[in-house]
Structure 1
Amino acid sequence: MPDGKNFWITAPGIITGLAAIVTAITGLIVALNGIGLFSGSATTNKISTETKQEVKKETDSLPGKQAEPQKQVEKFSPVFSMTTIKIEDHEYKILGSSLEGITPESNELKIKIKYKNNSNYSPATFWNEGFRLAIDGFLTAPSGNLSELVERHAELAGTVTFEVPANAKELTFHIFDVGKDIAIPLKLAPD
């Protein structure tokens, strides 16, 4: 060695040695975490949750305790006042609809529509932005993800989805196209 100095007692040697130690400790921590050594609390929480659920089930089935009655989810068939709408070069036809209970307080209204673009010049959008549902007088946007481009002289079917409260009294379906708002009242007939 030149000058008779040991590499490990020089500043670059000490920094290199410390870096090697830090890298080794980090690698050990990552490896131990990978085998689950540091995630014991998650397992404990899972066991605790399962135990609480079992205790709740046992308490619910105790003699003398009555179960709370489940509220029935009513089923309705939406009936539209008109099913074919023409606005300039655009034509909408309601192919069908359903109102399904999600919870006792909420329903999902699905309206299947065939859209026809009769334009000679350009494609048109067939998307959620063209539809709204007035629930007891308040306009709401669709909750689905309808978003299509329909070429000129072509047609496409899609479904518009809305969330409707179970206590809704009045529903009106709106189609917005070419600056016009076509309102179509609908009634819910019990199945």
Structure 2
Amino acid sequence: MAEEKSFWTTVPGIITGLAAIVTAVTGLIVALNGAGIFRKSAAGNQSSTETKTVVRKAADSLPGKQADQRRFVEKLKPVFSMTEVQIEDHEYKILGSSLEAITPEINSLKIKIKYKNNSNYSPATFWNEGFRLAIDGSLTAPSGDLSELVERHAELAKTVTFEVPNNAKNLALHILDVGKDISIPIELV
């Protein structure tokens, strides 16, 4: 009597086994991502205003020498001219901010904002499209991925992130809502 082959040694059996492994690994990755394993630390989302560092190159003080790779640190703190804005049924409150170096030329400005939807009728979108940063007069979109739906009579605090050149002189946060543009000047001290 001829011996039968095991299902797992046939081509359909091998393909089925590989598909099961790929499905299991994909499910594991999705579950770990949902649990926050692959997300960045939330240290930038603290509620108080922080002082971070901006890294700049320092020139060598000896005559005839080129600038070396030593760096000095300058502490900068974003200060907003106002921290609360109300536009019709929508309230915005700046809870804190931080400025930190990404590269020697670019900084990351993170602004934690609490949004409150006081509408009696519908949910509202709390997203990047509602914010711009004027950098020396030019409007710039946020670099983060803020996109939340806030139910009526509810509030949510999230961080809006912008990339700011190290040599920026004038900054202003623009809140765009219900056809209005509210500008809040920012001073780096």
Q: TM-score, normalised by structure 1?
A: 0.63
The one-character-per-residue Cα deviations of 1:52-109 (angstroms, maximum 9, x if unpaired) are xxxxxxxxxxxxxx99323335331100000000000000000000100112111000
Q: Following the alignment from structure 1 to structure 2, what is the Cα–Cα distance between the partners of residues 188 and 100?
A: 12
Code of the residue aligned with 1:169 in structure 2: it is: K
Counterpart position of 1:103: 103
Unaligned runs of 5+ in 2: 1-65
Counterpart position of 1:163: 163
Structure with larger Rg: 1
Code of the residue aligned with 2:88 in structure 1: it is: E
Counterpart position of 2:174: 174
Per residue, is there more helix in 1 or in 2? 1
Counterpart position of 1:144: 144
The one-character-per-residue Cα deviations of 1:133-152 (angstroms, maximum 9, x if unpaired) are 00000000000011000000
SS of 1:98 mapped into structure 2: strand
Maintained 8 Å contact 1:75/1:100 = no
Unaligned runs of 5+ in 1: 1-65
Q: Say what the alpha-carbon RMSD is for the aligned residues.
A: 1.7
SS of 1:143 mapped into structure 2: coil
SS of 1:129 mapped into structure 2: helix
Percent identity over the alignment is 80
Q: Following the alignment from structure 2 to structure 1, what is the Cα–Cα distance between the partners of residues 176 and 99?
A: 22
Q: How does 1:66-145 map to 2 (within 5 A)?
A: 68-145=68-145
SS of 2:77 mapped into structure 1: strand
Code of the residue aligned with 1:150 in structure 2: it is: V
Q: Following the alignment from structure 1 to structure 2, what is the Cα–Cα distance between the partners of residues 129 and 67?
A: 41
Code of the residue aligned with 2:132 in structure 1: it is: R
Code of the residue aligned with 1:127 in structure 2: it is: W
> How many residues are paired up?
125
SS of 1:168 mapped into structure 2: coil
Distance 1:161 1:69, change over 3 A: same
